[in-house]
Amino acid sequence: MSLLTRGRSCAGHGLFLSWVPASCRAICLNHLQMGIEEMKITTTTLAAGALLAAAGTTFAQVSPGSFTPTQTDDYESYPGGRTSISSVFGGTVPIIIGSVDHRSVDAGDWLDFRSPGGPVAPVSGSKFGVQFGFGDFTYDFTGIGGVSGFSFWATAAGVGADTIEFFDMSGSPIGSFTDGDGWGPGDGTMEFLSFTSSTLIGSARVTGRETCFDDIAIDAVPPAPCQDWTPFTWGGLGDVVTVPVDVTGSCRFIKVTDAFLSGDQFSVRVLDGATEIASFDTSAPTTTGDDIGGDYDGAFDDERWSSGFVEITTPGSYTVEVTVTLDPFGGGGAAVRVDDNAPIPPGEDILVLDQNSVSGYAATAAANIGTTTVAGTADFNTLLTSQGWAAVALDMPSTLLTDFGPIVNYINDGGKVVVSTWGDTGFGGWPQLLSPMGATGGSSFSTQANPSITSTGTPEADTLFSGVVVPITDFFQQWGSDGVQATLAGGSVPVAQQAGAGNPVVWVGNDGRTIGSWVADEMNDSASAIQLWENYLNFVLGGDTGCRADCDEDGSLTIFDFLCFQNAFDSMDPYADFDDDGLFTIFDFLAFQNEFDAGCD
């Protein structure tokens, strides 16, 4: 799949937005969302899973795969006639209405408007289900205790992307799969898709363009759990302990951690019979003598205790051989387990994706904070997975990643990430990223129509806009899509809106470790833009945006900060607009004095 370049082409239609009138650009963007009959149709199958990956598939606990269904529903029990469906599988699985509902349709009563087109044909019988419009609804499996497999036959009826998002029993995202051209070949016939999960699927949200479904099936048998921590003990330096483990397709990460008193360290080999297939040394402990007892999860996540892991991709039974290489107490206790996820190793540097931003605001801000690596689309995923990162910033005002899987997995595994890009649920940079970033959907917006980004006034907004001139109204570039107005998931916090109305265009998600943003690269005020990016990164890093009253940044509040502030005020530096009203008045002096008097923590 080629790179998508914002402002250059319209989904392969050959329409070049930079060199056509604004009205044509609007039509082209509308075609991206609503579809035109001439769009190239990509037929996707699940045979190897490769096409799903190429079409924007993201992998976490859910992956394409076959299973033996425990229940099926062929939609024949519903009345047809475009009647709304409130539940499936005999009433045990509710349908949660999103932006559209789910309806029962008779054969011949629904058309595939793509090319070559034709009436939608059920796979079996004379009825099927349909998304009644362009939007989403959700299959809710929580009432039956979750499922470990979900399959269906489907075809889109309108041009655009089809997406299925999976959530665990607590509502956290565990996988997302997108086909940019929609399911089915475009002639009204359906294609088969099947997914399995190492974690119980609590719900599945489907988003598409009047997408039709038939012969849905589930596996209501919970997946076998991974092998939990197996404790072991030793009596002295050089002792060798062996622990048998079983690796499966999903349970493939072998983890070892010290526990009880910190200070021990190990050399680990994984054996297939007598053959070594992997080895690693656990991390060096940072303290000696701290006591965590038998809290193996806590010890594994704490750098004071030595730990490590290795991924084994071939299922089978293996032996983990642990040799004690550091033993300050003449014996101790540790544990081995097999898990379905890899930990994010600690990191100190910031990784920035900047393929072709005009201003490089994110890279500049990151460099102001700490050691920074700037990557393009060609090497970003390799760098992302090569080491731990303190934070990751995706500055994507134009060219996008071709494979979003690694960054989605990184977010889902607990990474701290800021994303600034364009599009919505059907195109651009957001289709694969909205869910992991703490949103349930969204629609594209343009600053051409209303060039104003305003604060929502939440405490998070006050922090993130500290030192930034708001409202933001001056842009050196504007396109048909400058970001997404996001529909937020529970727990996410709105930070900014377009002209003080509508869904947020900046938001904080995942308990403060992710921020989604419109294309901040388009700001004309470079000082405010860099400050905004610094605030974004400091926020997800768990730091702060600095002590604003410490104008000379010497770590203390003195008369020199007053002099520094006065100089900034005289030069109309955005920093001196302390009350964030876009003006330079006596009230900025009063706001500065109040913060100075309050001191800095």
Q: Where are the domains of the chain?
A: 50-219, 230-339, 350-540, 559-598
Q: 300-310 pLDDT, tens per residue?
A: 988 899 999 99
Q: For 290-354, give the DSSP string.
A: -B-TT-HHHHHT-TTS-EEEEE--S-EEEEEEEEEEE-TTS-EEEEEEEESS-------SEEEE-
pLDDT of 111 reads 94
- Weakest-pLDDT range from 122-131, 184-193, 545-554, 583-592: 545-554
pLDDT at 557 over 70: yes
Burial class (CB in 10 A: 0-12, 13-18, 19+), 597: exposed
pLDDT(574) > 70: no
Provide the pLDDT for residue 547: 67
Q: What is the pLDDT of residue 258?
A: 97
Contacts of residue 451, Cβ cutoff 8 Å, sequence gap at least 6: 473, 474, 475, 478
Task: Give me the pLDDT at residue 546, please.
Answer: 53
Distances (CA, A) of 588 to 516, 530, 577, 581, 593: 29, 21, 6, 9, 9
pLDDT tens digit sequence for 526-536: 999 999 999 99
Mean pLDDT taken over the chain: 83
Query: Rounded mean pLDDT of 191-202?
Result: 92
Going by pLDDT thresholds of 50, 70 and 90, the confidence category of residue 544 is very low
Taking only the tens place, the pLDDT of each residue in 142-161 is 878 789 999 999 999 999 99
What size, in residues, is the chain? Answer: 601
Residue 601 has pLDDT above 60, yes or no: no
Prediction pTM value: 0.44
Q: Kind of pairing, strands 417-420 and 391-395?
A: parallel
As beta bridge partners, residue 162 has 179
Q: Which pLDDT does position 344 carry in this prediction? A: 54
pLDDT for residue 35: 37
pLDDT tens-digit profile of 100-122? Answer: 889 999 999 999 999 999 999 99
230-339: CATH topology is: Jelly Rolls (2.60.120)
**Does 350-540 match 50-219 at the fold level?**
no
Tell me which architecture the domain covering 350-540 has in CATH.
3-Layer(aba) Sandwich (3.40)
Portion of the chain with pLDDT greater than 70, in percent: 86
Written out in words, the top-level CATH class of the domain with range 50-219 is mainly beta
